[in-house]
Amino acid sequence: MTEIRMRVNGVVESLDVEPWVSLLDALRDRLGLMGPKKGCDQGACGACTVIAGGVRINACLALAVQYAGKEITTIEGIAQDGDLHPLQAAFVRHDGFQCGYCTSGQICSAVAMLAEHAAGMPSAVTGHPRDAAAAAELSDEEIRERMSGNLCRCGAYNGIVDAIKDVAG
Ligand code: FES
């Protein structure tokens, strides 16, 4: 057992974990955060997506001990002062889900993706750096490519893209 501390949704948590425990299992089983979902448990579906130090990761592929001292945000920490995050509200407005199992991962991924976009990351479609005008526009194709690590078995992709475009402006 190793004692680690990490800041989860703004709260410093201390937990004892074996070195083989995934971040996903630590969040769910040790901290009781059931928002991050276990779908495939092998990095293929994105249901477990959380934000670690501003970067979206598949928590099922990460060891908890790797994230000692890090800042983790799960869907439970996305809402702001009791109000839905704009992306959460947009998912509701645009029916960006059906069963909802993938939704926490979709929203965490989208929050981080919009931050990447605002920071002017190269196009996920062309790989080319984007000028300011291109950076301001987030095409459907760009959104679908950037969100391709998050699967929705209900096929709510059109609503998901519309919700993200709505918030991206
Ligand atoms: Fe982690 Fe599917 S549960 S990617």
Locate the ligand 1 atom nearest the alpha carbon of residue 46 and give its number.
4
Which residue's C-alpha comes closest to atom 4 of ligand 1?
Answer: 43
ipTM metric: 0.98
CATH number of the domain that residue 63 is part of: 3.10.20.30
State how far Cα 135 lies from the chain centre.
21
CATH number of the domain that residue 118 is part of: 1.10.150.120
Q: Report pLDDT for 158.
A: 98
Question: Per-10-residue mean pLDDT for the chain, 169 residues long?
Answer: 96 97 98 98 98 97 98 96 95 97 98 90 74 70 96 97 94
Q: What is the pTM of this model?
A: 0.93
> How many CA atoms are closer than 13 Å to the CA of 95, on its beta-carbon side?
5
Q: Report pLDDT for 120.
A: 80
Do 46 and 97 lie in one domain? The reply is: no
Tokens of 154: 């209900």
* Best of 42, 74, 103, 104 for a ligand 1 pocket test (most atoms within 8 Å of beta carbon): 42
